[in-house]
Amino acid sequence: NLPIMITPRWVRAKSPPIALDNLLEYLLKVPQYEETAGAILDAAGPDYLSYTDMMRLVADVAGKARPRIIPVPLLTPGLSSYWLGLTTAVPVDIARALIGGLRHDFPADDSALRRLVPQRLLGVREAIEAAFAAERRHAVAARWTEGAFALRGYRHDTAFYAKRAGGTALAAAPAEAIWAQLIRIGGRNRYYYMNWLWTLRELVDWLVGGAGFSRGRRDPDDLRLGDVVDYWTVIGIDPPRHLTLYFGMRAPGAGVLEFDLKPEGAGRTRITVNAYWHPRGVWGLLYWYSLVPAHLFLFRGWTRVLARRAEAAGHA
């Protein structure tokens, strides 16, 4: 989704990428042959191309305009990984591992492996198309999972990796008491903490034609799978331990809010809330970075308020 990409010059390095289905076929069949014991076998696909070519092919298959890729000599592997983590949703540790493989060409002689395990090898374009098709077949996600297609709004142009912000608090109350407070959020009950901030975000959404002020819920004291709470949809619920809500406001990306309640003994419970955001392009990234300070402040306070409400209800 980035129209221009500043990259290290190593993106020109070439390799023969192999489709996952082909690699799994090799891994399944090779151990069946005694002569492969202790052998080192190259596995490769039929195409030999650069990372630049691969990125352009992904854009083609996704139906997006090809980005303008500008390789520069100044980005070291370390700097490149942080740059990639800033301008995309790829975690820095994964980015560092990926970039570490960009320094040199990686030719492979897979003739021995092809003779041993003959199969039709998918080209890079076919492999990308197969990966997109596999994502479309992934129908339901009951809690956040990295890259889950359903949690990315069923869109290939939404980032696979998510940005995350969260907060936690320890409550001197059992999980059941906290759950009783948690399942009442939204509607007339509102959100217990910094409601003015929620109202401000709802106003922005309403101004762009979204569901911002569509407040309400099926029942003020009960929650079940599929319920709509204001602009959230319940996509996962496991009383009294876990709640997953899918974000329904207009925004350049897809988001999930998750609550986890973990008993820690002596009548205490750890409350954790995490927001996961899969950005769509540069606007999705800017949207996320603009809200990170508010999110960190909000979630820490929200978990503490949930804890205090549960404790107060237990003493009433």
Please give the CATH topology (third level) of the domain spanning 150-315. Answer: Alpha-D-Glucose-1,6-Bisphosphate; Chain A, domain 4 (3.30.530)
Ranges of CATH 3.30.530.20 domains, the chain: 150-315
Q: d(Cα 24, Cα 152) in Å, to the nearest integer?
A: 26
- Give the pLDDT confidence score for residue 133 in this predicted structure: 81
Token pair, residue 139, equals 């129908």
CA 152/CA 69 separation, integer angstroms: 25
**How far apart are the C-alpha atoms of 242 and 233, rounded to whole Å?**
14
Phi/psi at 256 (5° precision): -135, 140
pLDDT at 69: 81
What does the alpha-carbon distance between residue 301 and residue 110 come to, in Å, rounded to a whole number? 57
**What is the model's pLDDT at position 316?**
60
CA 40 vs CA 32, 113, 244: distances in Å: 15, 10, 45
- Architecture of domain 4-137 in this structure: 3-Layer(aba) Sandwich (3.40)
Q: What is the pLDDT of residue 148?
A: 79
What per-residue confidence (pLDDT) applies to 1? 61
Rounded CA gap, 301 and 137, in Å?
39
Low-confidence ranges of the chain (pLDDT < 70): 1-2, 74-78, 80-85, 87, 89, 101, 135-143, 316
Q: Are 64 and 1 in contact (CB under 8 A)?
A: yes
Q: Where does CATH 3.40.50.720 sit in the chain?
A: 4-137
Dihedral pair phi/psi, residue 304, rounded to 5°: -65, -40
Select from 184, 167, 159, 190 the least CA-distant residue to 294.
167
Asked if 3 and 65 count as a contact pair (C-beta separation under 8 A), the reply is yes
Helix (H) or strand (E) holding 276: strand 268-279
- What's the alpha-carbon Rg for the chain, to the nearest Å? 24
